[in-house]
Structure 1
Amino acid sequence: MNYARRKLLALAAAGVALPRFALANTATEITWDDLIPPGVPYSEIIGEGVMDERNDIWRPLFDSNATKLNPDLDGAYIKMPGFIIPLELTAAGVTSFVLVPYMGACIHTPPPPPNQLVFVTAITPWPSDNLWDAVWVTGRMRHEIQTTEVAETGYALEAEFMEIYIW
């Protein structure tokens, strides 16, 4: 086989493989409703609560629907909007946080149920002067129920890319 023909075949093979590679790294854009498993109505994940008068905070009580997670999202490469509740802050910015569906969740109001909260670890710290902005977060999501200082979270995500959310 001559050199020109081998080069042409190599280029053709690369052209076929490249679109598959590019599609494999395209994040699926999701909303907060997507975190709830199919068939579980939103109204069934909201819980009652009790006032902890000693600590002056509201402690929500959730049933088992609050920790039911969408099986399609475990391992999915996603992009979703939300607000940052910082957990770890360095001089470079926020390195871990809880992504919440609305501003002030977990701080000024009782926290949403675990299946409406995402624990995020940022590969590149998010600047601390942008904490009040809504953000897009892109990365690989996984199921991971964990307790943080602000709430119990149902999902975890390593943020490969973050940007300001434009309305």
Structure 2
Amino acid sequence: MTLSRRHLVMTSIALLTQPRASFAKTARVVAWEDLIPPGVPYSEIIGEGEMDEARDTWLPEFDENATKLNKKLDGAYIKMPGYMLPIDLTSAGVTSFLMVPYVGACLHVPPPPANQLVYVESKRPWASDKMWDPVWVTGRMKHELQSTSIADIGYSLVADQIETYEW
């Protein structure tokens, strides 16, 4: 079969003008343990810590492994489950939040290590009235160590989609 130059040009133009959805990439499903670099056991991230008797709170000690990030996730298009800790909340819904591995993280207990926290910005507000229910978040993840008044955060993600997590 011989392709003419005209056929090749027309086919190329047709492919380039297709809607981007036809080229959509499938998100890689990621679990919380995937955020820790391979070879670093979770037990080496959190030390014994100490008890704050006055506030009846355990204060964990994190070592340098707490800020080690999984290099394979930098720029990856992922989908992962977690819980929301709203940061920007309007009448339309949540537009930015910390995604945490378990309900109540950062609120009632000391925060998880940096490599177990994801700062999420949503393109569309999440208007659910079930803030304490788990969600699936899909989007592009980046390494972005940030220190905030709430916690040190290891990752950021721009959410294309947020949906209720169902198991």
TM-score tier by shorter-chain length is 0.7 to 0.9
Match of 2:156 in 1: 156
Structure 1 gap segments, 5+ residues each: none
**1:49 deviation in Å?**
2.5
Mean CA deviation greater in 144-153 or 52-61 = 52-61
Match of 1:130 in 2: 130
**1:23 deviation in Å?**
6.0
Match of 1:142 in 2: 142
The two structures, once aligned, show a CA RMSD in angstroms of 2.8
1:117 aligns with 2:117: yes
Match of 1:75 in 2: 75
- Change in Cα spacing, 1:53 to 1:127, as seen in structure 2 (3 Å) is farther
Q: Distance in 2 between matches of 1:8 and 1:142?
A: 38
Q: How does 1:102-113 map to 2 (within 5 A)?
A: 102-113=102-113
The residue type paired with residue 140 of structure 1 is R
Q: How does 1:53-92 map to 2 (within 5 A)?
A: 57-92=57-92
> Contact conserved, 2:57 with 2:109, CA < 8 A, in 1?
no
Q: How does 1:32-51 map to 2 (within 5 A)?
A: 32-51=32-51
- Change in Cα spacing, 1:72 to 1:32, as seen in structure 2 (3 Å) is same
**1:48 deviation in Å?**
3.0
- Change in Cα spacing, 1:13 to 1:100, as seen in structure 2 (3 Å) is same
**1:56 deviation in Å?**
6.1
1:101 aligns with 2:101: yes
* Secondary structure in structure 2 of the residue aligned to 1:129: coil
Give CA deviations for 1:98-151 in whole Å, capped at 9, x if unaligned: 111111111122221111111111111112512111100011111111123332
Mean CA deviation greater in 93-102 or 145-154 = 145-154
**1:53 deviation in Å?**
5.7
* Secondary structure in structure 1 of the residue aligned to 2:49: strand
Q: Distance in 2 between matches of 1:33 and 1:71?
A: 13
The residue type paired with residue 99 of structure 1 is M
Structure 2 gap segments, 5+ residues each: none
The residue type paired with residue 30 of structure 1 is V
* Secondary structure in structure 2 of the residue aligned to 1:166: coil
Match of 1:27 in 2: 27
Q: Distance in 1 between matches of 2:134 and 2:86?
A: 13
The alignment's TM-score, normalised by the length of structure 2, stands at 0.82
Q: Distance in 2 between matches of 1:149 and 1:122?
A: 21
What is the aligned-residue identity percentage?
Answer: 61
The alignment's TM-score, normalised by the length of structure 1, stands at 0.82
Total equivalences in the alignment: 162
